[in-house]
Amino acid sequence: MSKIKPSKGAPYARIMGVGGYRPTRVVPNEVILETIDSSDEWIRSRSGIATRHWASDEETVAAMSIEASGKAIADAGITPEQIGGVIVATVSHFQQTPAIATEIADKIGAGKPAAFDISAGCAGFGYGLTLAKGMVVEGSAEYVLVIGVERLSDLTDLEDRATAFLFGDGAGAVIVGPSQEPKMGPTIWGSEGDKSETIKQTVPWNELHVGDVSKLPLDSAGNIKFPAITQEGQAVFRWAVFEMAKVAKEALDAAGLSPDDLDVFIPHQANMRIIDSMVKTLKLPEHVTVARDVETTGNTSAASIPLAMERLLATGAAKSGDTALVIGFGAGLVYAATVVTLP
């Protein structure tokens, strides 16, 4: 017989509070058109995006995260000292080590929680949510702060007609804490590494100083381009629409629910056409509120789901206690879907 005592965690976990931060600068499509040969009509028809937010020098990954976290903590009705874990999902914190989560934990006054970053692209928030749920139920933390944050304007090639208009900046955060009844369903997550080339960084960081400079991409002025995110649009679209609808259905099945049981659908805000196609494929009833935050926020990768969740609740489009299906998907290719009760 094992001598190890069992963990004393909560029976279940739930999202207790949510907060978001969008940079103050709003960038319309007209600004994007200064560097690519396109039109506002083309951008809107292809992506549904009209505007996006770009961060200033002061609106760092840490600064945006701290703002969003403060709102989530207040919304949850807890104090920073009660937080036992800080998980940050991001691909745009450029300092390899230490993790930005440790700085955020310190600056919000969380004491000495477990703190770490995860890199799972646009599915990062879903991965973080699942890890936080495990920590609460296992008993290693009573409350966990999960942050999705990106400064994708730093990784945007403004001369790339296929991606220049897609990306935005921002931070979203939630507090995951104990519950006496199920408020978060099982997570359906995974990866398809054979498709990793469809969304990727153009140049590895080490190529900038040890690689063959002659092979590096140049901008129109002949300068070496900073690494950026590139993607095969049609391949990603087909994968997201058809394969991710299947994953979303699996998450509903795992939670013992049908589309009729849903109140809200919060997919990763990648593209309005993808969102609308998923709604159609899933045959969601008209009463289901669908997040379409991408129109004014753009694609903020790991931040998109919590930002969309925060806006739905703030505007009254969704309410506390609603049942929501959330699904993130992106570079890797990776995905994560689950059903949650909104805080």
Q: At what angle do helices 244-254 and 272-282 cross, to 10 degrees?
A: 50
CA 193-199-205 angle, to 5 degrees, is 95
The tokens describing 35, both together, are 């560097």
User: Catalytic residue among 122, 209, 271, 287, which?
Assistant: 122
Helix-strand-coil percent breakdown of the chain, rounded to 5? 40, 25, 35
CB neighbours (10 Å) of residue 81?
12
d(CA 331, CA 231): 9
Is 53 catalytic? The answer is no
Measure Cα distances from 6 to 2, 139, 180, 337 in Å: 10, 10, 19, 29
User: Catalytic residue among 29, 53, 93, 268, which?
Assistant: 268
Place of tokens 């153009």: 202
CB 108 within 8 A of CB 64: no
Is 268 catalytic? The answer is yes
Q: At what angle do helices 100-107 and 61-76 cross, to 10 degrees?
A: 50
CA 329-338-88 angle, to 5 degrees, is 60
Beta strands in 192-299 (DSSP E): 199-201, 229-231, 264-267, 289-290
Q: Are strands 114-118 and 143-151 parallel, antiparallel or unpaired?
A: unpaired
What is the torsion angle, in degrees rounded to the nearest 10, for the CA atoms of residue 21, residue 22, residue 24 and residue 27? 170
CB 207 within 8 A of CB 58: no
Residue 29 three-state SS:
helix
Is 122 catalytic? The answer is yes
What is the torsion angle, in degrees rounded to the nearest 10, for the CA atoms of residue 275, residue 280, residue 283 and residue 285? 70
Q: Which residues are catalytically annotated?
A: 122, 268, 299
